[in-house]
Chains A and B, each alone.
Chain A
Amino acid sequence: MSPSTPASHPEGTAGGSTTSRRRRRGPRTWLAALPLLAFTGLCFGIPLGAIAFGAVTRTDPSSGATRLTGEHLSRSLQGPYLDSLIGSVQLSALTALIGGVLGVLIAQAVVTSRSQALRSAALTASGVLANFGGVPLAFAFIATVGISGVVTQLADLTGFGWNLYSFTGLTVVYLYFLIPLMVLVIAPALDGLRPQWREAAQNNGATGRQFWRHVGLPVLAPSLLGGFVLLFGTAFAAHATAAALVGGSVPLVTLKIADALSGNVLTGQENVALALGLDMILIAGLVMAVYLPLQRRSARWLR
């Protein structure tokens, strides 16, 4: 039972209940985490390795020899592929910016309202709508503001130059799941903005604008930036919505990868898809590298 027992007999067989648990706990708990680590290593690590390997190598079809090359990566940063990368980044940045601002406004309206019913309804709805991406969303918008959509015909939107199957159209559709996502992310941060701070600022003679400029925004800044980055990453990775909606009329990197994979390009370009995939992972990795520390930082004030 002494503390030294487990250390001196780490392989001891089961004895008294307490000592046996102490003895077994170390190796046993380690084993319980093993399946997860093995699974991610196998099902996530191997495809990831295949992307990295395929993106920088070229296999000669006749001789079967594999050699290192940078041509796939450089080709993925040229011509139509570069356009698609830029298009994706532009669309993601624009939607993340608009979605972030609107999401904060809605979240603030919900959080400051004293109605508990409105609050829980809005948060639940955000939870559902943030997941309502992909194919069903695209079809809902086609039915609403597509060429023969209900609202298009009622309000004669085509007359105003409206086109759902365009960059603008895609922006409007993306906002449908990005705004609720921002509401979900930012609502706890706005909740953490204590009324006492505002009252303290008021008692010191600060105007509403001064309060936001010197207290509110600095406290919220990490959460706001973190939310923006998360929205950017989500919009950047989205493929199903765009695929069901625009097909190929808007250059997006996800659509280009899908094209390359399903063989709609010249043969031998599969590796360009891998290189594009690697580009995406690098950009998304950069985004997450910004997001995670920000999230930690925002947790400091808002608890």
Chain B
Amino acid sequence: MAAMTPTPAPTASDAADTAPGSGAAPAGATARTRAPRRRPRPRVWRGAVLLLAGAYFLVPLLASFVFTVHVPGQGIDFEAYTELLAADGFTESMLLSLGLAAATIATSLLLAVPALVAVRLGSPRLRPVVEVMCMLPLVVPPIALVTGITTVLRWGPEHLSRTPLYQTFLAVQDERFPVVLVLAYTVLALPFVYRSLDAGLRAVDVPTLVEAARSCGASWPYVVLRVLLPNLRASLAGAAFLTLALVLGEFTIASLLGFRPFAVWIVTISGAHARMSVAVSILSLLITWLLLLLLSRAGTNPATVSSAPRTSPTSRKES
């Protein structure tokens, strides 16, 4: 069966290529007449779908670009881009967002990698617990999480003002580097980090690798840094990319807690500098695209965003 099945597909396509008219096929054999007739139709259908989709996804990008460079009545003008760096608050908000992203990536990976490796190595019974803990944030929309966070933060002045905890509450909400955002973003990023790392770990036989390295005399730090992490490179990069995209684009939590990272800044300037806000939006998309391309180069497997494309090859490997 397995040896037979690949053959009909090439013959059908060959027939379609060499004899596009279905009249050439012998009328007696139903299977043969259907094969050449069926081929050209999906091609038209596919082309139409892809064309429409391409138009829908490209037109807003192109139109936005035209919007930023074309001033009605004045012609082409790249002011929106050239003035960007000098714009009030651009550098600060960008640096804040990048700093938050770096801190979030570091925190989430430092939390998730040891836990996931440990669950694979020695505590399989903890696995469902860790999985549920990591996936639960998917159930809580950011806007709902932020209602909880504001309530908790209000406890600081209301109930804890005489305890040393109060200082912690203040420090966490520091304008220059709001740690509370790092904590919230880490919670939001955990499901994605978990899925990416879990898919990566599934493709690697962790116990065997560890035992091999250990019996060759490697120390535990060496095992983790030089044996496990290189094997997880693609999924670590995927997790980092997802977290970066999440933090750079996050608006809800930051704006409602009153901080001003990049996404909030775009909204605040949109009233006075509409052109510039659109220019920044396009740039942020291009930056994301560039990062994803770099990432798919770095990893063997293009670290696609959803877990689904990543898990399917690994699960195939397992079965």
Contact = CB atoms under 8 A, between A and B. Distances in A.
Are A and B associated in one complex? yes
Contacts of B306: 127, 130, 181, 184-185
Contacts of A302: 312
B119 interface: yes
25 contacts: A17-B214, A35-B115, A37-B130, A37-B133, A44-B145, A51-B151, A112-B42, A112-B46, A123-B309, A128-B288, A132-B249, A135-B249, A135-B267, A136-B249, A139-B278, A142-B278, A145-B63, A180-B57, A184-B305, A185-B308, A202-B31, A203-B31, A243-B255, A258-B143, A288-B138
Nearest to B152: A50
Interface residues of A, number: 107
Given A140-B278, A258-B256, A149 B67 contact: yes
A278 B141 CA distance: 10
Interface of A: 17-18, 21, 25-26, 28-33, 35-37, 39-41, 43-44, 46-51, 54, 102, 105-106, 108-110, 112-113, 118, 120, 123-137, 139-145, 149-151, 175-176, 179-181, 184-185, 187-189, 191-192, 195-196, 199, 202-203, 205, 208, 233, 236-237, 239-240, 243-244, 254, 257-258, 261-262, 270, 273-274, 276-278, 280-281, 284-285, 288, 292, 299, 302-303
B49 A140 contact: no
Contacts of B312: 188, 191-192, 302-303
Nearest to B34: A202
Contacts, number: 302
A108 to B, nearest CB: 8
A132 B221 CA distance: 38
Given A44-B187, A257-B147, A239 B142 contact: yes
A33 B49 contact: no
Q: Is the interface of B mostly helix, strand, loop or mixed?
A: helix
Interface in B44-82: 45-46, 49-50, 53, 56-57, 59-61, 63-64, 66-68, 70
B133 A36 contact: yes
Nearest to A22: B122
A30 to B, nearest CB: 5
B209 interface: no
Q: Is the interface of A mostly helix, strand, loop or mixed?
A: helix
